[in-house]
Each structure stands twice: as structure tokens, then as C-alpha cells.
Amino acid sequence: MKNTWILFRKEMMGYFFSPIAYIVGVCFLLVMGSGFYMISDLLTRQPSEFSASYWFFNWPISWFAILIMIPIVTMRLFADEKRTGTIETLMTAPVRDWEYVLAKFAGGFIFYLMLWAPTLLYLFVLRHFSSDTTPIDWGSMLGSYLGIFLIGMLLVSMGCMASACTRNQIIAAILGFAMGCSLFYGGFYFYINAAEATRDFFEYFSMLDHMQKLSRGVLEWERAVFYLTSSFFFLFVTHRIVQARQWKN
């Protein structure tokens, strides 16, 4: 694990010594802050049976930010190494392929979580300036951030695979975005299909349905298993792509 830690630190330094990381962070927080303001204004005018955290995490703007932001965060992970040729040095170093892949994934995933960390303040700000004295629904809040964790883990692993497939960062971002959108919008078939058996199948893959349930504090363990196993699958494919390149060289 020492090699993984060293590569992880290198990856995080690559984020914070790059202007792209700060641009992505500022844009993400501006978008999420705008969404939070609109939700606050809407709930002030028209009270809802659902909590502010429910609307915040199921707001279309939030999904748009997630689907756009993660491919941008992950596009450079492997593609940039291929473009600059540094992957050739790493392939000859005493580093296992799985350590390399795990460090790349961990770097992208931790940076993703760091972008979400400031949003923890939003609901406390709302509570401080709101006249509503209802206690914070911790179940809803924790479930929402668990959903952010699980969905982000899956999308980052998909982004890793997309980046490992090419040396062009733009192509990696487009491929990662297309994969994420396909999974997200494919889940909508759950809402429009009348056949119960098919609905149950697509419900299992519906990220929107999962987030809605988690935002109400409802945790279904089979959904967590889906995200864990799917993330492992995409990382396994990424590992095989890296191995194939090493064999080719």
C-alpha cells in the first residue's frame, strides 16, 4: 500500500497545482450555491412536505453538476499520463498495476468528495437564517450524502475506465459523460414502463430513484451492493486496460 499512497499523493498534488481543479471547484460551488438559493426561495414562498436536503439533492441542477463535473475531474487521470509519456516510466517502475489504478481512482474520488464538503454548510446556513424551528432531519441528510458518496464512487470508476481508453482528455471527458448520462437516463425507463417485471429491473439501476429514497432516509442494502459491485467492475476493466497496454509495450 506504500506505493498506492505515494501515487495518491502525487495525484492530489497534480490536482491542486493545476488551475483546472480550482476552476472546476469554483464553478461547481457557484452552480450548487445557485441551486441552493433557488430552493430556499421556493420553500420560503411555498412550504413542502419534503425537507430542504431532499430538494437540494434531487434538484435538476444538482444532477447536471454531478454528470458534468465528474468527467472533467477524471478525464486527465490516465489520458494525461499517456499523452505525456509518463505512463511508460510507471509501467517499468516496481509498482503493481492495481496499485496504480487504485491510486488514480482514490485521487479522483477524494477530490470529488472535497468539492462536496463545503455544501455541508448550506443546510446549517438555511437553519440559522430560517424561522423554522423543526429539528434537522439527520436521517435524510446522512442518507443524501451517502447517495452522493455511492453515486460518485460509481461515476468516478466509470470515468477512470473512459480515461484509460484514450490519450485525449476531451475524448475521455465525452466518453465518461456519455456513460454517466446513459446510466442516469436509462433509469427513467423505470417511470415510463408499465410492465412490472421490467420496471423492477430498471428500478434497480435508477440513480434518481435511489437518491430520492436515500434523501428520505430509506436505505436499501441491495442498492449499496449495486454501487459497490459496479464500481469494482469498472475498476477491474480499467485494470485490464492498463495491463493490456503494458503487455503491448
The full set of domain ranges for the chain reads: 2-248
Q: What one-letter code names the amino acid at 179?
A: M
Residues near 49 by beta carbon (within 8 Å), at least 6 away in sequence: none
**In the predicted model, what is the mean pLDDT of residues 91-96?**
67
pLDDT at 122 over 80: no
Contact call for residues 226 and 88 (beta carbons, < 8 A): no
pLDDT for position 247 = 47
**In the predicted model, what is the mean pLDDT of residues 218-232?**
85
Instruction: Supply the DSSP string of 123-162, one letter for each residue.
Output: HHHHHHH-S--PPP-HHHHHHHHHHHHHHHHHHHHHHHHH
Residue 210: closest CA among 201, 220, 199, 200: 220
Higher model confidence: residue 135 or residue 80? 80
Residue 164: closest CA among 244, 218, 48, 231: 244
Instruction: Supply the DSSP string of 47-58, one letter for each residue.
Output: --SS-HHHHHHH
pLDDT for position 151 = 92
Give the C-alpha separation, 75 to 164, whole Å. 9
- All three cell numbers of 72, joined, read 472533467
pLDDT at 60 over 90: no
Give the C-alpha separation, 125 to 221, whole Å. 31
Q: What confidence tens digit (pLDDT) does each residue in 106-118 have?
A: 999 999 999 998 8
pLDDT for position 233 = 95
Query: How far from 177 is each of 130, 225, 241, CA to CA, in Å?
Result: 37, 23, 19
Contact call for residues 206 and 188 (beta carbons, < 8 A): yes
pLDDT at 133 over 80: no
Q: What confidence tens digit (pLDDT) does each residue in 148-162 have?
A: 999 999 999 999 999
Neighbour-count burial of 103, counting CB atoms closer than 10 A to its CB (0-12 exposed, 13-18 middle, 19+ buried): buried
Higher model confidence: residue 87 or residue 28? 28
Higher model confidence: residue 49 or residue 10? 10
pTM, rounded to two decimals: 0.87
pLDDT for position 58 = 81
pLDDT for position 135 = 59
- The overall average pLDDT reported for the chain is 80
